[in-house]
Amino acid sequence: MLCVHDCYVILISCISRTIPLTPCLTGGYLPIMKLITTIVRPERLPEVKAALFQAGVTGITLSRVSGHGGEQEIVSQYRGNTVVMEFHEKVKIEMVCSEPFVEPCIKAILASARTGEVGDGKIFVQAIERVIRIRTGENDNAALTAVNADVVQRAAIESAHHAGAVAGEEAP
């Protein structure tokens, strides 16, 4: 359920947050949405995915990519020939978030993807003008909320409590 109050929209669901709006040319307000794209090591994908779900991000798109940044080239032998591997396998994760989820999303990626070595990856944040869910025609934040968001968030919270209990903390 969305309630409009001055320059803010309050999203009432599993997690209540205040979503800031930006003025538009028609005199109304548009929700602030961001495209967060991150490139991470493939071996860090399970940790990053779990951290994003715990941060409340329920929709992500994954792509297997190759890239070259600060990592050194790998020189190896293949059938008697010297082969230079310039590009390294990475995973590209993309998600569109409303403003309250942007910083928690970035913090989740940083905490889960960082190894401290060259090649940990990058995070890119870009503004998004409009989102439309094809199936229903919903726009912007309504289109960003997953149909099963409550179930996914509940499972992530339970998983976090279970992980805390396993680590020796008491579950609330």
Over residues 165-172, mean pLDDT: 51
pLDDT digits (tens, 9 = 90+) for 51-76: 998 888 888 999 999 888 777 777 78
**Tokens of residue 151, six digits:** 């179930």
Q: 166 in helix, strand or coil?
A: helix
Q: Give the pLDDT of residue 11.
A: 33
Q: Is the pTM of this model over 0.75?
A: no
Cross-strand partners of 42: none
pLDDT at residue 170 greater than cutoff 60: no
- 51, with CB counted inside 10 A (0-12, 13-18, 19+), is buried
Q: What is d(CA 17, CA 11) in angstroms, rounded to the nearest whole number?
A: 6
Q: What pLDDT is recorded for position 70?
A: 74
Q: Find the farthest-apart pair of alpha carbons in the chain and give their distance in angstroms, rounded.
A: 70
Higher pLDDT, 97 or 23: 97
pLDDT in tens, 116-131: 998 899 999 999 999 8
The H or E element that residue 143 is part of is: helix 140-144
Lowest pLDDT segment from 122-131, 135-144, 152-161:
152-161
Where is 75: in which H helix or E strand? Answer: strand 74-78
What's the rounded mean pLDDT across residues 71-95? 85
Residue 150: pLDDT band with limits 50, 70, 90:
low
- CA angle in degrees (0–180, nearest 5) for 50-60-67: 95
pLDDT: which is higher, 149 or 72: 72
CA distance 41 to 39: 7
What rounded mean pLDDT belongs to the chain? 76
